[in-house]
Amino acid sequence: MNSKIVKKRLEDLTREYEAYLKMDENKEDLANLTKDQREKLEVKKKNIGLSLKIAVANTYRFLY
């Protein structure tokens, strides 16, 4: 894997994770979602969290 690709992936995942966190903080918008939509959002947030951890580990490999 190219270091630029790894860096870009980490940046993209970080932005996406931050977006999910902001959505999670906005209780008014969450209240407008159905239970199914909130559950899907939670699953996506967990998946992005895991992907972010993997991306950090991959990026770390290029540093050392």
Angle at 8 between CA 56 and CA 39, to 5 degrees: 65
**Biggest distance spanned by C-alpha atoms of the chain:** 46
Q: Name the domain count of the chain.
A: 1
Token output for 47: 């998946």
State how far the Cα of 35 lies from the Cα of 60, in Å rounded to an integer. 38
- Is the whole model's pTM more than 0.85, yes or no? no
* Residue 12 lies in domain: 3-63
> pLDDT per residue over 5-52, tens digit each?
888 989 999 999 999 889 888 888 889 999 999 999 999 989 999 999
Q: For residues 7 and 60, is the Cβ–Cβ distance under 8 A?
A: no
Distance CA 40, CA 25 (A): 16
